[in-house]
């Protein structure tokens, strides 16, 4: 049972997509693979045992399909939000094979921009963009009236949210890079954040569970 002074957010990374197992840079429209569909069913069964009031998902296809699997067994309507999409890479890269030299070079440059303040590569998100979006997403969830929510999102963006919750304004470009190099998020891994209102009006987020994928066996 959720105490009225706290809020619980259950974050779920999407199931494995077809592009996750191809030698290509992931496309926003890549659907779940057959294995990903089974993973989605597994996390859906797990989520069905939880008491939650809202189901929110990224608008990208792999996240939508994962959320739909959860909705099917929980009778919850899915609310879609672009706030929770994956990091936005330069559009040229989407669906290109790893052997595409231009796409590969562009990817490497863009990756640098994700941990270099002020650096921008074409139309991709950079460090400032994705940390700002994570802050907006955190505020969005904190201000929701529901006490318990499920959010289907993506690995990199989820790690960004966790990094901001843990470090806040202390999150530097170097720390951000270190976090992304030393942590991982499995397909349909479950991460739980709790938001507590402390005595004397203070409040804070707590990382309760990270990347629990026991449901995958």
Residue 153 sits in a domain whose CATH number is 3.40.50.1240
Residues 6+ apart with CB under 8 A from 58: 14, 64, 80, 81, 82, 84, 85, 86, 152, 153, 154
Mean pLDDT calculated for residue range 167-193: 95
**Residue 3: predicted pLDDT:** 53
For the cut 80, the answer to whether the pLDDT of residue 4 exceeds it is no
203 — pLDDT class (breaks 50, 70, 90):
confident
Residue 173 lies in a domain: yes
How far is C-alpha 164 from the chain's CA centre? 13
Residue 11 lies in a domain: yes
Residue 159 lies in a domain: yes
**135-152, pLDDT tens digit by residue?**
999 999 999 999 999 999
pTM above threshold 0.85: yes
Residues 6+ apart with CB under 8 A from 188: 12, 13, 14, 15, 39, 40, 42, 43, 66, 213, 215, 216
Residue 201 lies in a domain: yes
- Measured CA to CA, the distance from residue 191 to residue 185 in angstroms comes to 9
- Measured CA to CA, the distance from residue 135 to residue 115 in angstroms comes to 16
Instruction: Determine phi and psi for 210, rounding to 5 degrees.
Output: -130, 125
Residue 154 lies in a domain: yes
Domain count for the chain, please give it: 1
Residue 1 lies in a domain: no
**Residue 2: predicted pLDDT:** 47
Domain that holds residue 142: 6-216
**Residue 144: predicted pLDDT:** 96
Residue 98 lies in a domain: yes
Identify whether the C-beta of residue 113 lies closer than 8 Å to the C-beta of residue 130: no
Identify whether the C-beta of residue 128 lies closer than 8 Å to the C-beta of residue 164: no
Mean pLDDT calculated for residue range 205-212: 96
- Measured CA to CA, the distance from residue 87 to residue 108 in angstroms comes to 14
**72-129, pLDDT tens digit by residue?**
999 999 999 999 999 999 999 999 999 999 999 999 999 999 999 999 999 999 999 9
Residue 175 lies in a domain: yes
Pair of tokens at residue 54: 């809202």
């Amino acid at each position: 049972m959720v105490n009225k002074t706290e809020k619980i957010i259950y974050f779920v990374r999407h199931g494995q997509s077809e592009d996750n197992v191809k030698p290509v840079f992931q496309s926003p429209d890549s659907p779940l693979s057959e294995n990903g569909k089974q993973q989605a069913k597994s996390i859906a069964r797990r989520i069905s045992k939880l008491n939650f009031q809202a189901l929110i998902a990224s608008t990208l296809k792999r996240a939508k399909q994962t959320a739909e699997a959860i909705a099917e067994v929980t009778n919850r309507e899915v609310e879609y939000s672009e706030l929770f999409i994956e990091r936005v890479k330069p559009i040229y890269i989407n669906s290109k094979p790893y052997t595409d030299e231009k796409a590969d070079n562009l990817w490497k440059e863009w990756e640098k921009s994700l941990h270099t303040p002020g650096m921008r590569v074409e139309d991709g998100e950079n460090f400032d963009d994705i940390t700002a979006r994570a802050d907006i997403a955190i505020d969005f969830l904190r201000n929701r009236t529901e006490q318990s929510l499920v959010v289907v999102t993506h690995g990199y963006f989820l790690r960004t949210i966790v990094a901001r919750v843990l470090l806040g304004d202390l999150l530097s470009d170097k720390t951000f890079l270190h976090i992304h190099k030393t942590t991982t998020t499995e397909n349909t891994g479950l991460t739980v954040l709790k938001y507590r209102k402390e005595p004397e009006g203070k409040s804070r987020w707590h990382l309760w569970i990270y990347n629990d994928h026991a449901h995958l066996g």
